[in-house]
Amino acid sequence: VASSSFSLEDAARALDLAERLGKPAVAGSDAHAPSVVGWAFTEFPALPRDEAQLAAWIRTGAGSWRRPGAFRT
């Protein structure tokens, strides 16, 4: 629901769509420039043991999305 390349309106639409579809909210940098790496990410309770655990956490909504960087205008 958040990306370093999203505007605030893009993020709101993505969050609304995820909620309507019953999907978990996640974020990722999708950085196209070094200056925006880490502007959006999903935080999990711990490091996953493996890819299967990470996928399970994403499916169950165990992560919390964060967007500390500025939204594109």
Q: What is the pLDDT of residues 30-49, one digit of tens each?
A: 778 888 888 888 999 999 99
| pTM confidence score | 0.74
Q: Give tens-digit pLDDT for 43-70.
A: 999 999 999 999 999 999 999 988 876 6
What are 22-28's contacts with CB under 8 Å, separation 24+? Answer: 24/58, 24/59, 24/60, 24/61, 24/63, 25/1, 25/61, 25/65, 26/1, 26/58, 26/63, 26/65, 27/1, 27/2, 27/3, 27/65, 27/66, 27/67, 28/2, 28/3
